[in-house]
Amino acid sequence: MKRIILLATMLCCSYGLQAQKTVKLNNLWTKPQVHVLFQGYTLSFKIKDIDRALVLMDGIGDPSFGATSGLDTLVNYNTELFPGTRTLYRNKLQPLMQKGVGAFLLLAGQAQVVNHKNKKLKEIIADVQPVKMDDSFAYINFYDPRNNNLIFSGSMNVGMYGQDLGIE
């Protein structure tokens, strides 16, 4: 039964997962603790949002990363990612952000993106790659609308598309 529901969800979502769209980035009212360096851009996320996304992933049946990140909210975490999702990872935070929740949080606008000139971006362009019926992950590239530079490249579970993060 679970597979039938997941397949139906994938079919419904796969049609809508083939487009570019502009994502407005929300103002993060608390200081983000996770900072990802990606090709000269710094993407910053709150641990609270990462943990919420992990709970949603666990709720749709993807326990790949667990129900919590286990990150301490009093510590700042810095990591670097590279284009492509088949890179070698040196720590557990890298695959969590690139293959787990990074793309989902960017699509939800729950990130702070700073370019190499230390200027915050107010919006980004999300390019969702076409998803086939048997795919369980959607690959998404994010671009700077000013110069079309790649900001982030990652994937997310197809079942996460359209999920609400539940921001207060």
The residues, any chain, with a CB within 8 Å of residue 129's CB and separated by 6 or more, are: 17, 18, 138, 139, 140, 141
How far from 13 is each of 23, 131, 134, CA to CA, in Å?
18, 9, 12
- State yes or no: pLDDT of 139 exceeds 70: yes
Q: Do the Cβ atoms of 129 and 140 come closer than 8 Å?
A: yes
pLDDT value of residue 41:
96
Using DSSP, state whether 7 is helix, strand or coil. Answer: helix
pLDDT in tens, 58-106: 888 888 888 888 899 899 999 998 876 556 788 899 999 998 899 999 9
Of the candidates 83, 25, 79, the one whose C-alpha atom is nearest the C-alpha of residue 49 is 25
The model carries a pTM of 0.83
